[in-house]
Structure 1
Amino acid sequence: MKALQSPWLAPLQTTTARFAQHWRASRLPVFLHWWRRELIACLPRRWRERLESSNQEHLLHWHEGALRHAAEYADSTATAPARRQVLLMPCEQVLLSRVQLPLAASAQAHAALVFEMDKYTPFKAAQVYFDTLRDPREDRTRPVFELTLVVALRERIDAILDEAARSGLRIDAIDALDRDGARLHVNLLPTQRRPQELHPARRLRRRLIWLAASLLLAAMLMWVHNRQLALDAMNAEVAALRNDTQQIQGLRQQLNERLDTGRYVQTQKTLALSRTALLRELTACIPVDTWLEQLDIDAQGTLTLSAQSSQAGDLIGKMKTCTDLRNLQFQGVIQADASTGQDRLNLTAHLGEERHAPTPDTP
């Protein structure tokens, strides 16, 4: 199984180590540490004590080739399995060296030190385990930056880990002490032998990250949902306005049809009144010895009538009293009717403008 994992596990470990090196070289961990401390201080005391107890570390010391207090620690492991177990190496067992690297190699500092390990120490990279420290308060405007290189022999670390395994101890990290007895806060434990389980605080941070990502996703989905609701409401409003517009257009069409019908009725009524007055006037101006057989009025206002009269030659002169008739003249010849003893005639005339001109309401 190890042989199957090694082709992709080694590049992943290298990438992880480079990312960790770049992370430690930035100012962000210092800020996050301060922010975490301030946030924990705002929590209730019970929660604060629980977090502080989960972050406690049990320290082991390597002294004269053996682990100090190994038996006591083995007893305490059963009661506090979640504590992080850190082995402290004395300053005599490690090598500290100040290293200067170009600022361009900041993200690749680990790879550069692996390549140039024999330049800064008496050993090659295959003979040691190492870690670095970088001062976060250094001047970032300089073209170079300084690192504190902490080196321990590989065979010594492997021997310590083998002895701890035989004693039933689990070592989560290997730190070192400086000449003043203070911790350096490095980790000389090989990457492949570091525990994969997450520290309680790390689990909490991971859960918080997942919670933040979930809240962000929920906020995005809520925003999309609200936009969809607004779009649906707008579409419904547009559909209602379109329906109202169609109803208004239908009502307008009905109104126009009714107006057209009203105009037509009014026009017919006006024409009927005009023709009634015309017939009344013709009755007054046509002599009593004249009988009308046919009367036609066309759209141009031309009046044509057929009649029988005893005095056909005087008919035009008598009909000039009709003020609404213009251009009276006979059409054709006057013929005698043997059956009635009168003359048969056809007469044409033009109506006045007030009789045949269309009214303002005429369509």
Structure 2
Amino acid sequence: MINQFMGWWARQLLSLLPDRMRGREADEGQGFLISLVSVPGATHDTVDVSPHTGSRHGAFERLLLDDSGLARLRALRARAPRAVVRLRLRAGSLLERDVVLPLAAERGLDQVLQYEMDRLTPFTAAETFWGWTVTRRDRAHARLHLRLTLGPRGAVAPIIDTLASAGARPALLEAPATPEGDRVRRIDLSSREGKGGARVTPALRAGIALCAVLLLALIGLPFLRQSIALGDVGARIAALRPTVAEAARLRRDIEAQAAGGSMLAAARQQVGDPLRAIAAVTNALPDDSWLTDLTLQQRKLRIDGESRTAVQLIARLAADPTIIDPAFAAPVTRDDSTHADLFSISADVAP
């Protein structure tokens, strides 16, 4: 915790000094924008490399990330070795969600998000590149509102490693939120990957060390207490992890059972309930009637059989709410040998 604060405080002090006092070269304010592009049939990843200053971008050069392309990228990088490299992914590659946490969590936000990543998202912290931006501090309700941005590590890490082999490891990941590119989502890799930090010249080291001593004297004890409290919280979280995992497993089992019931209900809605249909037909037919065939398919019912009073069957079937729109599917014929009517009736079965 103290190391993080010291790094932040040093960057704030450095930002107040002119570039020449910080030992920055002229090319440091510039950088590379490396954009992934889709090229049908390409055997390697293809990127567009363009220098940029602020929001102005120069002409781009399209490179295939094979041996010759990496050699060209290495040559471009050699011209501005201290320039910031940004990797732009395809639209929609980075995801966002709004998160609300207790306001006290801001002091150890990285660790809290790392612990809670598998609860807040479908991924663990190790499976993603991620970053956050505070959008609002609700002090009245002690709530911290922030926007969490994340991208899949498995898909992006190989590209980052390939670029790193050419000396162009990205310090920023970015991707348009939509194909129209109306808004860009970003993840700062420098703070978590150990790249792109502020450069401290030897002339400033003594001053920074003196400031560090003074800061430690002023704020060391409160931060030490907070660090101990945070360690306590971490230990409690670790102790609760088995219980949380068991609760999550039970929740998944309950959801799976509920999903199974929903699928069964949907199937009955589509094809009908055969037992209910048979019961309705049995109750509607008189004792002097019998069936030779009964078919139920996609809620379409067809019954064939014999009855001494076939003309009355339509009314009896229609009286049951389960049977909808019963009608003769073929003319009623008379069997002189049995003195019975041969009938064929079709109807719909209520869902």
- Greater share of strand: 2
- Greater share of helix: 1
* TM-score clears 0.5: no
Give the TM-score category using the shorter length: 0.3 to 0.5
Specify the structure having the higher radius of gyration (Cα).
Answer: 1
